[in-house]
């Protein structure tokens, strides 16, 4: 007999930073009181982000030590969505862009938890989902997410050396013979369509397209919220 499906209940976003019951604005109907509590939690969130940035800066000054590329960079939050957003911010090569994307994404998610989503955020959210998918697939492949934003990065599939015995990416992300044979950027490995990956890699190798320009077209964060064509990522099924 199959075991009953378990439902994981996670705390709401605003409750992650609450230190006492009086700071939880969930269910508060007074707009003024709710905004007051939200501002307090937002300031706490900004402080935590600054502290995290300082910690990363200090770690960067230390001698580099090997670490698994699938290591989760942020373990301070039990909320999967916030963690996904923070991991996604690693794929941008500019700290300023990462901070702006994090702020916009967190605010959009906060609006969502309040049942007050704004249609004006849709263009940004579409590209946000694309970058979350890129970061997640990079992790599933065992790649360092930061490789996605390094112009001269080379796909690990093009490098010599044995893969860990436990390496077991989803079937749709398993490298093809083309991925192993032709030098290419690791961001081309994250698409879950083997034939599509092969076509792009072959076209880039033949200089029929610029994979850097393609990356900008597909994954550039739409911070300005302008209407433009974009790749759309569907949610996971099941």
pLDDT tens digit at each of 238 positions of the chain: 555 555 444 455 555 555 455 656 566 677 777 777 667 666 656 655 655 565 555 455 544 433 333 233 333 343 677 778 888 888 887 788 888 888 888 888 888 888 888 888 888 888 888 888 888 899 899 888 888 888 788 898 887 666 766 678 889 999 999 999 899 999 999 999 999 999 999 999 998 988 888 888 887 776 776 776 777 777 664 4
Q: Is residue 34 included in any domain, yes or no?
A: no
Q: What is the pLDDT of residue 164?
A: 66
pTM, 2 dp: 0.59
Q: What is the pLDDT of residue 45?
A: 61
What is the CB neighbour count within 10 angstroms for residue 79? 15
Q: Is residue 48 included in any domain, yes or no?
A: no
Q: Is residue 79 included in any domain, yes or no?
A: yes
Q: What is the pLDDT of residue 4?
A: 55
CA dist., res. 139 & res. 127, Å (int): 19
Q: What is the pLDDT of residue 196?
A: 94
Q: What is the pLDDT of residue 48?
A: 54
**By residue range, what is the domain housing residue 211?**
71-229
Q: What is the pLDDT of residue 201?
A: 94
Counting Cα atoms < 13 Å in the Cβ hemisphere of 179 gives: 22
Q: What is the pLDDT of residue 69?
A: 30
- Residue whose C-alpha is closest to residue 220's, from 182, 185, 187: 187
DSSP-derived secondary structure letter, 141? T
Q: Is residue 56 included in any domain, yes or no?
A: no
Q: Is residue 63 included in any domain, yes or no?
A: no
DSSP-derived secondary structure letter, 79? -
Q: Is residue 178 included in any domain, yes or no?
A: yes
Q: Is residue 112 included in any domain, yes or no?
A: yes
Q: Is residue 189 included in any domain, yes or no?
A: yes
- Per the structure, the count of domains in the chain is 1
Q: Residue count of the chain, please give it.
A: 238
């Amino acid at each position: 007999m199959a075991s009953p499906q378990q439902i994981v209940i996670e705390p709401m976003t605003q409750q992650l930073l609450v230190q006492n019951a009086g700071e939880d604005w969930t269910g508060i109907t007074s707009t003024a009181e709710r905004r007051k509590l939200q501002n307090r939690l937002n300031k706490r969130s900004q402080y935590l982000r600054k502290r995290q940035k300082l910690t990363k800066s200090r770690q960067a000054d230390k001698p580099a030590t090997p670490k698994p590329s699938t290591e989760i960079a942020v373990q301070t939050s039990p909320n999967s969505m916030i963690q996904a957003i923070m991991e996604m911010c690693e794929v941008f090569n500019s700290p300023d862009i990462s901070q702006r994307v994090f702020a916009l994404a967190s605010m959009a998610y906060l609006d969502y938890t309040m049942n007050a989503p704004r249609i004006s955020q849709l263009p940004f959210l579409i590209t946000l989902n694309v970058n979350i998918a890129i970061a997640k697939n990079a992790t599933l492949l065992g790649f360092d997410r930061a490789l996605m934003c390094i112009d001269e990065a080379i796909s690990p599939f093009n490098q010599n050396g044995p893969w860990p015995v436990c390496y077991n990416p989803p079937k749709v992300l398993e490298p093809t013979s083309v991925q192993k044979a032709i030098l290419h950027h690791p961001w081309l490995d994250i698409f879950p369509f083997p034939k599509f990956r092969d076509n792009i890699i072959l076209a880039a190798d033949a200089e029929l397209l610029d994979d850097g320009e393609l990356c900008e077209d597909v994954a550039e964060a739409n911070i300005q919220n302008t209407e433009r064509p974009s790749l759309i990522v569907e949610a996971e099924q099941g």
